[in-house]
A = this chain, B = another copy of it.
């Protein structure tokens, strides 16, 4: 006899059992409906690409994490580690086939051989939406609206969408005489929520002196309202600039669209070392801010510069699907079901399986998810299986009942039986109790 191979998945990888996978698919479908309602369209790209294309920018951290190998044809290939780089390659390749501005979403798995100690996975789903080929504030605003609409469509409760402008931050650093230190400063400021005010202050002092450090901390502190924060930002950069004007225009859009309440101007939002150049966004759940941003993004100058000479400015955001699902669980808002059947049809006589399926077809054509059992086990076992599969009702019929066209319907929760029903009566009963 052959040895048994131990059944196990790789570290950092996961199986999705039905209840988790159902929840995930429901969430994705909800997000897609929201994206589609804004006229966004889906794309997909290969999981595997030339390593040269995926690693063009040659980020040191990224390179260490990426799954890269030689294929059968001796090509240097890698699994995608995000959806942004493939999208840049996609736009450079298909520019002529697409009308700009192009509004796309992409929901797909990505792979990173990260250290799994921090609870991170090596295979996870990203969910990106972008508008490319436009520099308008209207596009920045539309992404903000979509962040709001897609999170409202999911049952996560109230959210705060915090935004700022990378350009204003850079102007402020120039005024402080620290433009050369912007990378270090951005990196430090981005950690504020994690490491606290004191440590941030001491790190910033080490970079630019204690006076500048105090000024930076004062700058990034949100004030009472969007308007007062914007006024303080304007002061900090010495008056109105095109960048502060855009923040003002965005505010007028929010007011005109009647959505001013969820948006907070927060100069501490910088998105660290990301490639953003304009507006930047982060989103926090009011009920669970400590889980971090569940939807982030911003405006960039040029998406596909590595692969094309045509400049493609754009703006977009990404939803952290795994983080959202974790949040829904913590908040007890996830609606997990083991199965998806509403009605099970018991197998009292295996020879009647054709007739059971004919009955099932009648229920299915009335939008009742209906499962037919195939094994003639004891009724009690079939009731237990039906409950485990999430059914609310089980239909019991032997050959004689089927000849008469009637059956018994048992409500599993109450253990109550209704005898002598026909399909129409059963449908009424099931729909009334939904």
Contacts and interface: CB of A to CB of B under 8 A. Distances in A.
Interface of A: 2, 4-11, 13-18, 21-22, 24-25, 29, 32, 36-39, 41-50, 52-53, 56, 64, 67, 69-73, 75, 77, 79, 89-90, 92-94, 97-99, 101, 103-104, 109, 111, 113, 122-123, 131, 134, 136-139, 141-142, 145, 249, 252-258, 304-309, 339-341, 344, 347, 350-358, 360-361, 364, 369-372, 374-375, 385, 388-389, 391
Number of copies of this chain in the oligomer?
2
B354 A7 contact: no
A338 to B, nearest CB: 8
A50 B10 contact: yes
Contact of A75 (B10, B347, B353): B10
A123 B48 contact: yes
B370 A38 contact: yes
B7 A21 contact: no
A104 B18 contact: yes
A344 B101 CA distance: 13
Contacts of A138: 347, 350, 353, 356, 372, 374-375
A94 B36 CA distance: 36
Contacts of A29: 29
Nearest to A337: B41
B306 A4 contact: yes
Contacts of A43: 15-18, 21
Contacts of A360: 38
B45 A306 contact: no
A430 to B, nearest CB: 14
A245 to B, nearest CB: 12
A358 B249 CA distance: 16
Contact of A308 (B7, B47, B389, B391): B7
Given A53-B7, A353-B138, A357-B141, A42 B25 contact: yes
A10 B46 contact: yes
B307 A388 contact: no
